[in-house]
Chains A and B, each alone.
Chain A
Amino acid sequence: MDIVKLTIDDKTLVVEKGTTLLEAAKTIGINIPSLCYMKLEDLNFENKPGGCRVCVVEVEGRRNLAPACKTVCEEGMKVQTHTVRVVNARRTVMELILSDHPAECLTCAKSGECDLQTVAQKLGIREIHYQGEQSHYKGDKSPAIIRDMDKCIMCRRCETVCNEVQTVGVLSAINRGFEAVVAPAFEMDLDHSTCTYCGQCVAVCPTGALTERDYTWKVIEALVDPTKTVVVQTAPAVRAALGESFGMEPGTLVTGKMVTALRKLGFDYVFDTDFAADLTIMEEGAEILDRLSKHLSGDKEVKLPILTSCCPGWVSFLEHNFADMKDVPSTAKSPQQMFGAIAKSYLAKKLGVKREDMVVVSVMPCLAKKYECTREEFSVNGDPDVNMSISTRELAQLIRNANIDFKQLTDEEFDNPMGESTGASVIFGTTGGVIEAAVRTAYELYTKKELKKVDFEELRGMDGIRQATG
């Protein structure tokens, strides 16, 4: 490993060759503010356009200040991260960015989690000395994502994620100068583009320019309507993520408290989407089997391999990019929609409730589910099977709104029978889990025998193509 030695703020340190000043400083406890820079650790992926210049530092012997996020450590470098010159430059940069930014923190969905706000606080900006015209851009409200480009700071993180990580390629910087903005081709709205609503751009946006569409108010309206029976389903991931919103360790399982909170909020029935995941798996298993036996008996038309249809983001990616392969994925509904369809038929009938008087809400970890609810094929006479999908964050908001002290809640159980599920849906959420569960079902259907060795572990995980034989 090649190393270089340098000093940052008079402290000598040794780092691996190729390390940026920003990263190097971090290792000795110096957090240089940054905005456009983004590092996705898991994917080992970086966005460093070096555009915002909030991260500038002084490098001895260089005339100009250097962006720490883009400058690579060199042997013998002497770097200062908070000289008067640096601080003044940083403040100027920040004030210039803010001079073209609406001051709407009080009502902004991103407030409290906004990088721009955090950096402004960190630098103690109390006054903006520059005033001029502010850029305005048409709004874009899709079923899942809201684009408010007046709040965009052109860091282009969204563009990088959409193009290079997700490979969907919906977003690009367009126009120039003051008019520049990140937008889909021809400035069409997201719901006319090939956007899959994967939500990754929203996840990386440092400001309130990209936010999820908020349905909390619609949920409250349903909850207070005495004529409605309101049923909620929660996806497996939510119980592990919700606690974090209330100051608990990330990953803490809060299943019981979550169920209690949902009942307190006024939901009439609280179910686990896991149940529907089982159904999806059984459907997919039966379908593999059906296609396989057709194929084995010489049917040339049948489409193999089979691909999962559980994820609406993936389904729309396929529809947009590989329209000729639409018959490859399974025809099974996603667990969310499977649940909705059953709730509004079987459950409604069992409870003696009219379909229109039942409201099904889902709590899901992903934005594409919001869009999936609006797809026409998942409704009967204009009444959607799942009325709306909210995120873990929106659920946390609802709980806070109702003055519930989440940490003090006791544990309650999901409602039955839809609260029950087999192990099949528990492995659903792991990569490769769906195919494994589906293969297990197929095996059992085909051999009419119960499967002894139940872990097709060859089919789980991340190592590219996976294969299992029996």
Chain B
Amino acid sequence: MASVKIPDTKVQELKAICQKFRNDGSELINVLHGAQELFGYLPPEVQEIVADELNVSLAHVYGVVTFYSFFSMLPKGKHPISICMGTACYVRGAEKVLDEFKKLLKVKVGETTPDGKYSLSCLRCVGACGLAPVVTIGERVYGRVAAGDVKKILGEY
């Protein structure tokens, strides 16, 4: 099994999260939420500690992590890109925009570019339907994005 590379203090914080949920296996999703907040993502080492602490199988933890698209096993890029796939954005061409990002960055959804600069993810409605399709990069929101704009947007970073 992979060796633990995360610093001790973080391990303690992670264990504290588990304890907050009484090390209860049925609280796995909540614990993973907390863990992802702490680390930004859920590397194998983190999943191993969670499995140990909650006394559930590692396979089960991995199963949950891979089932919910909210969880990620890859560190987020310096500029996390999210494309809204809510109904309004979707019908106004969000998929084409997403495809363009995938093409230009050569990554799939949930992945990070090898240089760590960008990561790509999808999200559900951000509540800015009037601006559909919506893309967020870090804290910035781009509205009415068309596939043709993607190159220019990326050029800003």
Contacts and interface: CB of A to CB of B under 8 A. Distances in A.
Interface of A: 163, 169-176, 183-186, 193
Contacts, number: 40
B57 A169 contact: yes
A163 to B, nearest CB: 6
Contacts of B56: 169
A171 B61 CA distance: 11
Nearest to A170: B59
Interface string B33-74: 000000000001001000000001111111100110100000
B66 A163 contact: no
B44 A172 contact: no
Given A186-B44, A186-B62, A176 B67 contact: yes
Interface of B: 44, 47, 56-63, 66-67, 69
Given A185-B47, A186-B44, A163 B67 contact: no
Listed from nearest, the 9 A-B pairs whose CB atoms lie closest are: A169-B57, A172-B63, A172-B59, A185-B58, A185-B62, A185-B59, A174-B66, A174-B63, A175-B66
B44 to A, nearest CB: 6
Given A185-B47, A186-B44, A169 B58 contact: yes
A193 B1 CA distance: 8
16 contacts: A163-B59, A169-B56, A169-B58, A170-B57, A170-B59, A172-B57, A172-B59, A174-B63, A174-B66, A176-B66, A176-B67, A176-B69, A185-B44, A185-B47, A186-B44, A193-B59
Nearest to B44: A186
Most B CB atoms within 10 A — which of A169, A172, A176? A172
A163 B51 CA distance: 14
Most B CB atoms within 10 A — which of A171, A176, A184, A186? A186
Given A175-B67, A186-B44, A169 B62 contact: no
Nearest to B73: A186
A291 B93 CA distance: 75
A169 B55 CA distance: 11
B51 to A, nearest CB: 8
Contact of A184 (B44, B59, B66): B59
